[in-house]
Amino acid sequence: QVQLTESGPGLVHPSETLSLTCTVSGFSLTGYSVYWVRQPSGKGLEWMGRMRYNGDTSYNSALKSRLSISRDTSKNQVFLKMNSLQTDDTGTYYCTRGGYSSYDYWGQGVMVTVSS
């Protein structure tokens, strides 16, 4: 069955770089896009960026200068890297599947705290 699982550090220091991995199963990264979405605690959802099935990427305009998304299709993994983290980057980070009926499967999310 389709699964997405986020992994990464729970704590990141201010000004450092966040690295997250989304490991997928039950579908191919060359057939479906994967999106990253984040949610500050107690707030709404923010679309961060996507890795398209063909390897193209697109990013939230507000995060574009700090954000990079890549993938390793042989390992069924999509990576997120965001630099210059600040306290308002604290929140839960999700990966979700794109496609015809986008957002049909989600990971459980990984909580990231930015603190010294």
Nearer to another protein, 7 or 15 (CB): 7
Structural contact between residues 53 and 33, judged by C-beta atoms closer than 8 angstroms: yes
CB contact set of 101 (below 8 Å; sequence gap of 6+): none
Q: Is 111 in the site for another protein (CB under 8 A)?
A: no
Closest separation in Å from C-beta 101 to another protein = 4
List residues near another protein by CB under 8 A: 35, 37, 44-47, 49-50, 58-61, 94, 96, 98, 100-104, 106-109
